[in-house]
Amino acid sequence: MANLEELIGVLTEVQNLDPENKTANVRIYNKYILITRPDQEDGYFIEL
C-alpha cells in the first residue's frame, strides 16, 4: 500500500498536468485514487 509521501507526489503530479485540476474532487478507494473535476464526467483513475 502507498504511503503518504507517495500519495502527495501522485496528487502533485496530477495537479501539475492541468491547472484546472486545483478544483478537482479526490476520492481514495483502497489502492486507487479517482480524481474528477466538477465540470466533467470523466477523470483520472490512478493505481497506487
Contact status, residue 14 vs residue 43, Cβ threshold 8 Å: no
**Digit-coded pLDDT (tens) for 1-45:** 668 888 888 878 877 887 777 788 888 888 888 888 888 888 888
Q: State the pTM of this model.
A: 0.57
- Residue corresponding to grid cell 493505481: 47
Interacting residues of 38 by C-beta distance below 8 A, sequence separation 6+: 23, 25
pLDDT of residue 47: 84
pLDDT of residue 7: 80
Contact status, residue 32 vs residue 25, Cβ threshold 8 Å: no
- Amino acid present at 22: K
pLDDT of residue 37: 84
